[in-house]
Homo-oligomer: A and B are copies of this chain.
Amino acid sequence: MSDRAAIGVDTGATRTRAGIVDERGQVLMRTERPTDPLAGTKGIIAVVEDLLERDADLDVKVECVGVGAAGFVDFPRGAVTFSPNLIYDDPFIRDAVESRTNLPVVVENDANVAAWGERAFGLAQGTSELALITLGTGIGSGFVVNGRLLRGYGGAAAELGHMVIDPDGPECKCGLRGCLEQLASGQALARMGREAVEQDPRSSILSFAGSADSITAEHVARAGREYDETARTVLRRAGRSLGIGLSNVANIFDPEVIVLAGGVVGAGEAYLGAVRDQLVAMTEAQKRRPMRLDVTSLGKDMGIIGAAALALDESST
């Protein structure tokens, strides 16, 4: 008898990636294509059909499809209700994919599926209380509470990136000020890097980037790794902000494990060390149980694996 398997789809702002994932969380086959910002849903269907055409050689039965989508998701309806970056030509993704594949489909927010993947196959296996934070251009989050995903009343929960931690901080495109995303994400590192080289034009941030306008988080991280003190100050400030955000997560959720994921976790010790120091200072000050803080082991497949894991779990209940 064949193993059960699912297709997991990860719809990023630039690439739509998909894979066939078995019950042990192994990715058996992958595909990807550029995300068309005017045809996000068509792109999802295309990667799913691509895998279904090629799965004959695998000794598994593809039973269902899970889709991770950026934005607010109405889980019961399988629809995206609001998406800041991607424009789905058809927001009713579940119905659109089901009608083409005749497989049961679940649609869930991308950070939520990542949290589910960590719990199913990552560093937080079996825990009922988990916080996952994605650190990329923006900041996303997914929370498992009492063993279930936190979705909220209208699917708009777990937007940790827009938790205000400094009411007089920089403006955020969400309309608030001092959101965590403006203080600790990739875009925040880039902005803080640009501001820092105005004060210190000799920083190697600028030499790596070529011009101030081209500075990215990666330039700041690279300069930090080479002991550029201006870059390290930026990284430590951002890390401290994330640590305050995680301290709030600890006070609100008391999770068993906090898992960090996304490109910015590679920003180096000046950043991650400051995150850890701030969280430890908080647990010690409050005499709280020390909390496990880890970096995801699922790497770039996190979204694919999480979406497939959620589809398999939902279809077996």
Contact = CB atoms under 8 A, between A and B. Distances in A.
Interface in A142-165: 145-146, 148, 150-160, 162-165
A110 interface: no
A254 interface: yes
A163 B165 CA distance: 9
A128 B148 CA distance: 13
Contacts of A164: 165, 244, 247-248
Given A129-B153, A150-B145, A176-B247, A162 B256 contact: no
Contacts of A176: 247, 282, 285-286
B146 A150 contact: yes
Contact of A166 (B155, B166, B240, B241): B166
A174 B286 CA distance: 5
Interface residues of A, number: 46
A252 B165 contact: no
A156 B288 contact: yes
Main SS class of interface, A: loop
Contact of A129 (B152, B244, B284): B152
A240 B282 CA distance: 25
Nearest to A160: B252
A54 interface: no
A173 to B, nearest CB: 10
Interface string A182-209: 0000000000000000000000000000
Nearest to A158: B252
Contacts of A155: 254
A309 B17 CA distance: 48
Contacts of A252: 157-160, 163, 252
Contact of A174 (B159, B163, B285): B285
A251 B163 contact: yes
Contacts of A100: none
A155 B256 CA distance: 11
Nearest to A149: B146
A128 B150 CA distance: 11
25 contacts: A145-B145, A145-B146, A146-B146, A146-B151, A150-B253, A153-B256, A154-B254, A155-B254, A156-B254, A157-B254, A158-B252, A159-B251, A159-B254, A160-B252, A164-B165, A164-B247, A165-B165, A166-B166, A166-B167, A167-B244, A174-B285, A175-B285, A176-B282, A248-B248, A252-B252
Interface of A: 82, 127-129, 145-146, 148, 150-160, 162-167, 174-176, 240-241, 244, 247-248, 251-256, 281-282, 284-289
Given A145-B150, A165-B167, 6 more contacts: A146-B150, A156-B289, A157-B253, A162-B251, A163-B251, A175-B284
